[in-house]
Structure 1
Amino acid sequence: MSDRIFIKEGLSLDADELQERFIRSSGPGGQNVNKVSTAVELRFDVRRSPSLPAYIKANLRRQAAHLMTQDGELVMQVQTHRTQARNREEAIERLVALIEKAAYRPKRRIATKPTKASKRRRMDSKTKRGAIKKLRSSKNFD
């Protein structure tokens, strides 16, 4: 397993960082489920991964805490398909999706001030609206 798992531009994992274990599943498959180990348990050590930058590791710990052990190892079980190969593919797809989500960095917002013209427009519209409301009230009680 010396392949690279592509995540996004400039980010990939070495397949040797993943540990797979095949176990018996309780999903679809009939009698086949009782005989063949089709479910996959994928383990990925986030803390010791040389492929991920620190900010992605921190985001992963925060976002996927329910899948993490106390040692910082991400554990994922997939048993949705009948075949071992398809369960393995789906586990890797889920891992890639988690890492992509953790790699997202929102752009920093640059605070701006409203222009004089926009302030003037705002005040003009408030004045007009106030005048309309003032016309509605009839204070003349003859």
Structure 2
Amino acid sequence: MSADTLLDHLENVKRTGDGRWLARCPAHADRRASLAVRELSSGVILAHCFAGCSIAEVVGAVGLDMSALFPEKINADGTKPERRPFPAADVLRAVSFETMIVAIAAADMAAGKTIKPVDLKRLRIAARRLLTAAEAFQ
């Protein structure tokens, strides 16, 4: 995607320089231009809302996703590059680490210890990561 695709979805677009624009942010009730957009020579599009909206909120508000901010990679022969999965050893190390977090928390609970809020938050992250890993192989 080029910056034009994003800019076509925005209001009050003003060019501020070579490959740079300001526009109203579509993610909030913007009365003045608070969204800066820049297209790099590599084709990557940068955007920043000075009111604090995340870039995911900005692109989502115009019906795009984060991949729209990056140029599509094409091989020399005109084909798309093959997406290679993570190396199995890396996946196993990550799953092992998250499993260790769960095991430590389970041992603490079995011993009657109270889990601190920060540890409970980390336990939830571990559980989410393990579920995501399991779903990836279904």
Higher RCO (Cα < 8 Å, 6 or more apart): 1
Q: Same fold (TM over 0.5)?
A: no
Rg: which structure is higher?
1
TM-score by length of 1: 0.22
